[in-house]
Amino acid sequence: MTPHTDLHPLDAWEAAQRLARREITAEALLRSCLARIAEREPQVQAFAALDAEAALAQARAIDAGWGGPETSGSALLRGLPLGAKDIFDTADLPTACGSPIHAGQRPRADAAAVALCRAAGAVLVGKTVTSELANMTAGPTRNPHRLTHTPGGSSSGSAAAVADGMLMLALGTQTAGSLIRPAAFCGVVAYKPSVGRVPRAGVKSVSESMDVVGGFARSVRGAALLGAVLTGDARLLPSAWPADGASEEAGGRSAGAATLRIGLAPTPDWPQAGPDTQRAWDEALRRLGPRARCEDAALPPAFARLAALQQAVMAHEAARALAWEHRQQRDRLSEPLRALLDQGAAIPGERHAAHQAEARACAAEVDALFANHDVLLAPSTLGEAPAGLAHTGDPLFCRAWSLLGLPSLHLPFTQGASGLPVGLQLVGRHGEDHRLFAAADRVHAWLRGEA
């Protein structure tokens, strides 16, 4: 088997197939990624911690212990280079959470999501940069498509590393828009699972009710590999998807014969969308219209309040989750984070409970939409990644879906006026992540003009 030095552009799905066929080795794949890291990391600054020698030892052990191609869930990520956002505990790398407060912290165990990925054969290469305590104050990472622009946040390093070919896959989290927004700005696929589907043990908490563990890949199928491992649900894998990506209705609708039903949900915040997102939306409708049944989704009037509610719920829960930092390390927090935690601490628990009750009532109304729509199409961001590195961009178009706890996938497919990536997100019914993946695979191909 000849060595390969140009493997880093591979998508995780393709790399997994080639590894399984023994066309490439885990070590060769990793060395190509490490070469890319050596070339680009000084500019992109995606990593908070990196251990190339330990990763090479993992890859060699995988190659030495390979007994032949496997298709079981236990080996789904075998040999794939992986990064973990620097709020995930790792037994062999520090976890600083993007804050000087936790600099040099050395956990004794892996976060559950990291342990699951390692058990599935992933090679952990390093920890990726996060914004301060997974909030809005940016870290040093730059957008790989244009170094003067933000990569988004708070999962900035994970999105940038996957986009730039440094990693096949990377773990991240979302509370407001921290998976979907950086994926949009960096031009990769992000998977935000249904809330509660992936264990959060060993991950620095921001919001007890909204935090979700997910990740990044360069295709829907690559994200499906990671998603199947994180959720333990084999229905997320392409082998389980119906041919047309549509789901069954309770009344017996046949998945094999159905036309995909896409609900159009630009949301009440659509007037704030910039020209690049508006053009992407129009382009999507032109491409999807002949292939799917696209109809307006009748979002309930209460939906208009969800973005503001999400901010209040996040502030209250962050003030409690970060109570030690807020009370004992206040002077080492950035001013924006101090302000957020002060705001959240001032929200009484009874008002927080009322906010959550309002969100649950709206969630029931939104859930009813899936009787008529297989998935919902929605904006991901206001537009292209903004210039500058001090801010990570506005998560406006993600807030409501995060509050509702629904699964979503960002699908990159076009460019804005200045040439930076733009895409849209597809949103599924809570708990039906597998149906979301099946639909997204078809929709992404249609959006990119591949089918």
Question: How do residues 318-358 score in pLDDT, each as one tens digit?
Answer: 999 999 999 999 999 999 999 999 999 999 999 999 999 99
pLDDT, residue 3, reads 57
**Is residue 78's pLDDT more than 60?**
yes
Answer whether residue 72 shows pLDDT above 50.
no
Give residue 4's pLDDT.
64
Helices (H) and strands (E) in the chain — how many of each?
14, 11
**Minimum mean pLDDT range among 68-72, 85-89, 96-100:** 68-72
Band (pLDDT 50/70/90 cuts) for residue 73 is very low
Pairing of strands 81-85, 123-128: parallel
Q: What's the confidence (pLDDT) of residue 250? A: 37
Provide mean pLDDT across the span 258-281: 97
- Give the active site residues: 85, 154, 178
Amino acid at 69: P
**pLDDT for position 258:** 77
In this structure, of 66-75, 82-91, 379-388, the range with the lowest mean pLDDT score is 66-75
Taking the C-alpha atoms of residue 414 and residue 139, their distance in angstroms, rounded to an integer, is: 27
Please count the other Cβ atoms lying within 10 Å of the Cβ belonging to residue 242.
18
Task: Evaluate whether 410 touches 180 at the Cβ level (below 8 Å).
Answer: yes
The whole-chain average pLDDT of the chain stands at: 94
What are the tens digits of pLDDT across the range 29-71? 999 999 999 999 999 999 999 999 999 999 999 999 864 443 3
Please tell me the CATH superfamily of domain 12-237, with its number.
Answer: Amidase signature (AS) domain (3.90.1300.10)
Q: Distance of CA 213 to CAs 82, 107, 209, 210, 413, Å?
A: 15, 19, 12, 10, 24
Q: What is the pLDDT of residues 405-423, one digit of tens each?
A: 999 999 999 999 999 999 9
